Amino acid sequence: MRILVTGAAGFIGSHTSERLAKLGHTVYGIDNFSVYYDINLKKKNTQSIQKAGVTFIEGDLRIEHLETLFPKDLDYIFHFAAHPGISATSSFDDYLSNNVIATQRVMDAIENLENPPFIVNIATSSIYGLEATLTENEAPLPVSWYGVTKLAAEQLILAYARRGLVSGCSLRLYSVYGPRERPDKLYTRLIDCGLNNKVFPLFEGSEKHLRSFTYVQDIVDGIVSVIGKEKVTNGEIFNLGTEEENTTATGIEIVEQLLNTKIAIDKKPARPGDQSRTKANIDKARKLLNYNPNTSMEEGLQAQIDWFKDL
């Protein structure tokens, strides 16, 4: 298969690019090296995927002429590129342009091809709202700009599929952690604080939040399982994540145990739009994709600690 991964220098996009290359596919990765976080970390991710055999293209989906930027005769596009997370320093336009406009431009570039590639949209449990415990058939209730614009991007792609212009599906990912996790995310920050004697900023009430913390390789298992199942996945939405729930407090305790240290906490005001609970309902993915995440938090967090020490 000839496959393009957008957002290939990012956390999950880089892991997926590597896995696809190791499976024997011809893989192209594209990224615009957004300054949302340290570009040097993305450069390291890029070096890793290139070593795995991925051909890397630097480009911005919002401004480039995509018909000439994209490789020809693609079989698949895995669309990760987006403005992530909930950040007080990000404007609505950051989310709109990166998550909605960029996605529309991707669809414009492929809809008139004689054989358009199958597009796999990478969505998020933030689409569901404050409590992400729903099935794929229930109405989402997003509360953040991130969730709203990721839902819009998802529905853009599915609208093309419903009209028969392209084939594709959307995957809603739950609380992913592991090596290469962004520096603003929970576990990379915790590990940094634990190893470097820093104070961890904890949003008020978040220690009680429940999460389906899912190891990145378990997520990648679900993502790549779409290949070869185009007929049963076309036009569909799938939740990917573990069914096991843990509080943020439990996650902090596990990191402290693995590092054999106590992490100092600085309580911050609650963050608007933050989810109080995520619990992945994966009945559909288990049935149609044979999806079965099984990495324990202790195993996954030890791998993340080992990665962080090598940075």
Active site amino acids: 146
The CA-atom distances, in angstroms, between 265 and each of 48, 64, 81, 144, 252 are: 34, 44, 33, 26, 10
DSSP 18-44: HHHHHTT-EEEEEE---TTS-HHHHHH
Query: What are residue 146's phi and psi, to 5 degrees?
Result: -60, -50
Q: Are 54 and 15 in contact (CB under 8 A)?
A: no
Q: Are 200 and 263 in contact (CB under 8 A)?
A: yes
Query: What are residue 198's phi and psi, to 5 degrees?
Result: -105, 165
CA 133 to chain centre: 18
In Å, the largest CA–CA distance within the chain is: 59
Q: Are 131 and 142 in contact (CB under 8 A)?
A: no
Burial 98-127 (b: 16+ CB within 10 A, else e): bbbbbbbbbbebbeeeeebbbbbbbbbbbb
Q: Parallel, antiparallel, or unpaired: how do β-strands 118-124 and 168-173 relate?
A: parallel
